[in-house]
Every structure is written in structure tokens, then in C-alpha cells.
Structure 1
């Protein structure tokens, strides 16, 4: 499945680039978002595990944000995927 993802570039896309990319979704694919929710340690561990599997750069994930549950955080990754 990871082969379907468009390869990361050296730079993390800006919000403007993501907006422009989503407007061109019929040409390149579709913007999807991956959300991880859990303890800070659990979320960071999952992000590092996904990085080790070449899923996404650690810096591509959003900073940890608190949820409404005490001790729980979330992080989001936005990616363009190829649609077959």
C-alpha cells in the first residue's frame, strides 16, 4: 500500500501547497489525512515506527495537540495518494 503514496520531497509541504494540490486532485490523486490519537509517548512511538517503515517523515506530522481527554494528544498527517 505504501507504494501508492507519492514520494516525500526534501521539503514539508506548506498549507498553501496542500490547498493547491487538493484543487488538482483529479490530476495527481487525492488528499487524505491520517490521524493518530493516544498518549504523547504512544503517538510519538507510532510516528517513529511509521517513519522506520518509510511511510512518512517525522517532520511531516503536525505538532502534538491536546484532545478533550486528559493526557491524550493527536497528530495529523496530510498526504497525496495516487488513485487507480
Structure 2
């Protein structure tokens, strides 16, 4: 699944570059590998309603599934929770 996502992302980038930078060699564009991936963490802090709403919105726009987030955890402040999402992003 991750390899398919990577291939899709690379083809989308190549298509964008072909359309917006026509002077570049098309074969050179399609062969540009991503050197490495780097971890990133997203942290949501707020009321349970706000955090849950944001998690669901990020699923609707296709960024992350609800199940990818950690369970809501109390922060120690009244009516405040947090949830974290860990991802690997492609760095060029």
C-alpha cells in the first residue's frame, strides 16, 4: 500500500512538473527519486469535541484515517485532551 502511495505521489508530481515546467526533460522528471522519508508527528490539543471534529475532518479530506490517531488522552487541564498522529513524509 505504501509503495502504491509513493508511486501515485511521484506520478502526480511528475504530471504537475510537466504541465508547469515544460522546458524540463520529461524522462528526467519521471526518474527523480525521493532520497528519504522522515518522521513527523501531528499533535492536536483542545476540547474533546474540537479534537474529534478535526480528526474526522482530516479523514474527510483524505489526509488520515480516524484509526491512525492515538486515543484521546487527558492533558491535565479541565476539558482538554490530546491526540497524536505519526507519519513518514517524503523529503526531497
Query: Taking structure 2 as the reference length, what is the TM-score of the superposition?
Result: 0.61
CA drift of 1:68 comes to 1.7
Aligned residues: 60
Unaligned runs of 5+ in 2: 6-34
Unaligned runs of 5+ in 1: 1-5, 8-26
2:62 is the alignment partner of 1:64: no
Greater C-alpha radius of gyration: 2
Which aligned segments of 4 or more residues in structure 1 are displaced greater than 6 angstroms?
A: none
Query: Taking structure 1 as the reference length, what is the TM-score of the superposition?
Result: 0.67
CA drift of 1:82 comes to 0.2
C-alpha separation in 1, matches of 2:59 and 2:36: 23
* Match for residue 79 of structure 1 among 77, 84, 87: 87
Higher relative contact order (CA 8 A, sep 6+): 1
